[in-house]
Structure formats: structure tokens, C-alpha cells
Amino acid sequence: MSKVLRIGTRESQLAVWQATLVQEQLKEHGIASELVYIKSDGDIDLVTPLYELGVQGIFTKTLDAALLGNRIDIAVHSMKDVPTFLAKGIIQSSVLPRASYRDLLVYKGNEEELFYELGFINGEWSIVNGQTVPNSYLKIATSSIRRKAQWLNRYPAHSIDNLRGNVNTRLKKVADSDWNGAIFAAAGLERIGLRPEKSIELDWMLPAPAQGAIMIVCRESDSSSFESCQLLNDANTALCTRIERDFLRTLLGGCATPISALAEISEDRVVFKGNILSIDGKEKFETTITKPVSISEDLGITIGKQLLEMGADKIVSEIRNAGA
């Protein structure tokens, strides 16, 4: 009898959806599997902001332990939650085709007034740094330091509140709060059919490295599980997310940082956009570059080093000192 793969997953609706997707795709290749539910520290503490928890690995380390302890064979993660350095003995076995990488604003209140204050006119974002709406003092919620920094860079007069919990919990908190809106990953809401009608894509906001992608990991010594998961691997998504994560690791290495990156492939060329901001959003270093796919392997590292040389090293030092 062939081996039944044990798929480790967190218990949130989104995590289970992702693990079930992997299970279904494995089944299409004739590979049997079962889900094993594991609660992570990130699911237990829903109050403390992620950047105060020492977020790196907060959603993955419990599954890592289960993998290394041979309680599961593979683990399924939202790739943006995975540290850029995997735990010793664990390797990336597959990256599924990427869904939407966009961030969304889920909003409340009078749509016309809100859109005016945000500068979202006739379906386009037209205001930079909130300069034409000096009296805009909206209250927006997010637990992401990256989203917070980019929002304050564009709207310095706004206030940002912390928002934690799984997708369902966060949507309920928004409905019950005095916030004007909250920021979510589009893929997370769309995958489980929970994107509210009152939501708009923030196409000016660069995503977290690997946002919208699903990663499968396994034990380094488990060649059978690795080969099974390789059947699901999407080469383009794997390359783009590798470039983005190399950029993140070169600049700082953690995911609780105001660092954003997006790599896309168009006509055999990689188009890369990346930035790093100060925590308060006042300083920003950014870049856009296009390279042939054939010479893009080290693109994230190269661009990360260039930003550091341009002065981004000062922001990195400030972030490290703030976390010391």
C-alpha cells in the first residue's frame, strides 16, 4: 500500500482551505493524504501586534516542530508568513500558482465621502501623500507594519489601530468598531469567499514578499514527500517568490518589517518592484528593474544590496534598534 501523506495545517478557515487545495491536487496525481490540525502560537495570541511578538515564524514554528517530530509529512503555509531561512532539516518542496497579491481596503460608512478623502476618484487612485485632503483624519486598522508604513507614507494624518485574528474574526472586528476601514490580503478573503462588497484594491500598495502564494515544506530527508509535492510546483511562481524573499532577506530578514516586493514575469523578463520604509512611513527607498529571466536568479540579492548602498541601511539600523 502506498504511503498516505499527512498534511499539517493550522486550524483557521483559510489555512484549512489551503491544505485542502493541496490535498485535492495531490489526489489528481493519485496520491492519498489526510489533514492533521495543529494550533500555532499566532492563533493563540490574538491581541499583541505581530511586530511585538517577534513575528518571524510565529505561524510556522509549531508546524515545523511537528514535521521534525515526524507527526506530519508536509506542511502548507501562506508563503508570506514563512521565515526567509527555513528551520534546519526542513526544505521547500513546492510553490503553487500564485493567486492575487493585492491588498484590499474593507471600508465602512459613506462611500462617496470616504473615496474623496482617500483620493479614489472614478475608480483611480489620484492623490499622493494626501496633499489635496489636508483635513482627512481617517482611522484604519491593520496588524502589518508594512501596510501601516505604506499607508502613513501616503496619508500621514491618518491613525492606525491594531487588528489581529483570523479572517472571520478580523471582519467581525471591523464591523463592530469605529474604524473607517481595515486592510486585508485579497487572496485570503477571495479564497474562502469572504471578500465584502465594500472593498477596493490598493493598487498603489506593494505587497509583502510572496503574498498570494502557497508554500509546501517537508523534511529534508523525506525524498518521497518532496517528489510528490514537486508535481504541484509552479516554476514561475517559485522563481518570483524566491526573488522577493531574497530581497527581504538581504535587507533585513524578518517579515515584521516595512519591506515590500513584487516580481512578475512578462515575455521572458522579470519585472521587479521593491521598497523599504521607515516604521512611521516618513522615509522611503524604492526601486523598479527589469531583467531577462535567464539572468534573474540573484536579482533580489542584487537589488537589496543596491538599496542598502543608497541609504536604506539607515532604516534597517533603526528597525533593528527599535526591536533590541
Instruction: Please write the tens of the pLDDT for every residue from 60-70.
Output: 888 999 999 99
Residue 17 is predicted with a pLDDT of: 96
Q: What residues in the chain have per-residue pLDDT under 70? A: 1-2, 40-59, 127-135, 253-256, 323-324
Class of domain 103-201: alpha beta
Residue 121 is predicted with a pLDDT of 87
Instruction: Out of 64, 73, 81, 246, pick the active-site residue.
Output: 81
Sign of the Cα pseudo-torsion (91, 97, 99, 101, in order): positive
**Grid coordinates given for 95:** 510553490
The answer to whether 1-96+213-233 and 103-201 have equal CATH topology is: yes
Query: Looking at the domain 1-96+213-233, which fold is it?
Result: D-Maltodextrin-Binding Protein; domain 2 (3.40.190)
pTM value > 0.85: yes
Number of separate helices (H) and strands (E) present in the chain: 11, 15
- State residue 128's pLDDT score: 58
Q: What is the pLDDT of residue 166?
A: 85
pLDDT at 59: 66
Q: Of 53, 40, 34, whose CA–CA distance to 14 is shortest?
A: 40
Residue with cell 491544505: 19
Q: Where are the domains of the chain?
A: 1-96+213-233, 103-201, 234-324
- Summarised one tens digit per residue, pLDDT across range 158-211 is 999 999 888 899 999 999 999 999 999 999 999 999 999 999 999 999 999 999
> Which of 114, 143, 120 has the alpha carbon at shortest distance from 53?
143
What pairs with residue 159 in β-bridges?
Answer: 139
The CATH class of 234-324 is alpha beta
Catalytic (active site) residue 41:
no
